[in-house]
Chains A and B, each alone.
Chain A
Amino acid sequence: MTKPDQDLVDLFAAASEVDADQSFTDDVAFKVTAFQRHKRHTKIVFGLLALVLLVVFRQDLQMLAGLINQAMTMPIFASLDLGAFSMLNSLAMVLVIIGSGFWKLKSLLRN
């Protein structure tokens, strides 16, 4: 292994370092706060957008649930005797989507 050049080691060791400066820390802290605010606002906007989309496309979601129901009554699934379960399944899926949207929005507002 090559040894470091002692002259350069001494040179770097003797070179002055930048001193810690409170104004630098304040600048970084300001940027961090601004970043956090921006992040929170973006999340709220996206959360609201998701809710609006949920309301606007509720009929499509219902249709999707219907399609899932239909799929579950296909012979391959029917043979598994999942008829009653499939209805619950699609309903639960819609509830989970709505619930997670609300939960996300609530947690965002709390933060």
Chain B
Amino acid sequence: MKNNNSEDGKKPYHETIMIRLAVAGDEKAFAQIVQHHQGRVRTLFLRWCGNQAMADDFSQMAFLQCWQKLSSLQNPISFSGWLRQIALNIWLQHIRKNDALWGAEEYDQQLTTTPDLDITTPLDLDRALSFLPTNQRTVLVLYYHEQLTHTEIAMALDMPLGTVKSHLKRGGEQLKNILRDYKITTLKETTS
């Protein structure tokens, strides 16, 4: 993650120093880390769960776990990836508890027809993603939002590489279909 000074005349942010201070128990330094990383973590959870309030709750859990485990962080440079893994574990824990079909190979084929789209609400990416099965959504977000490689996703999710690729392919197609259908429906509605 960026080890830079923040823009717009804000206080300079030196990640390595902040992490070392936070490891030593400095809560103010940790607050700066939270301020710096919250946008990314909250967006990540929002892409996964599609609900801002839930995403904020998950993000708070992630940062609290981050504080509790900070002393186990070996290298401050890898903080960003380490934080992502904490976030991912929280998300996986949630879906394993709530989604009985997580990990089922045939589950990603369920969405054969596009969902009923409400054209009165503008379709944003998070809403479009929420129509996808959880496993496809999780993989898509890790690949396109977090820019992890196939192998990294397979390792992070403890999933075979082939499954990751098929989730990506099907999920990507379905996401594009949802967005295309929404555009067509909106266009029809506005012309009629």
> Which A residues have a C-beta under 8 Å from some C-beta of B?
1-2, 4-5, 7-9, 11-12, 15-22, 24-25, 27-29, 31-33, 35-36
Contacts and interface: CB of A to CB of B under 8 A. Distances in A.
Chain B binding surface SS class: helix
Chain A binding surface SS class: helix
A5 to B, nearest CB: 5
A26 to B, nearest CB: 8
Interface in B9-33: 27, 30-31
B59 A24 contact: yes
Given A17-B43, A35-B64, A8 B124 contact: no
Nearest to B28: A29
B64 A32 contact: yes
Contacts of A17: 39-40, 43
A55 B148 CA distance: 57
Nearest to A111: B25
Contacts, number: 78
A78 to B, nearest CB: 46
Interface residues of B, number: 36
A10 B46 CA distance: 18
Nearest to B10: A20
Nearest to B22: A32
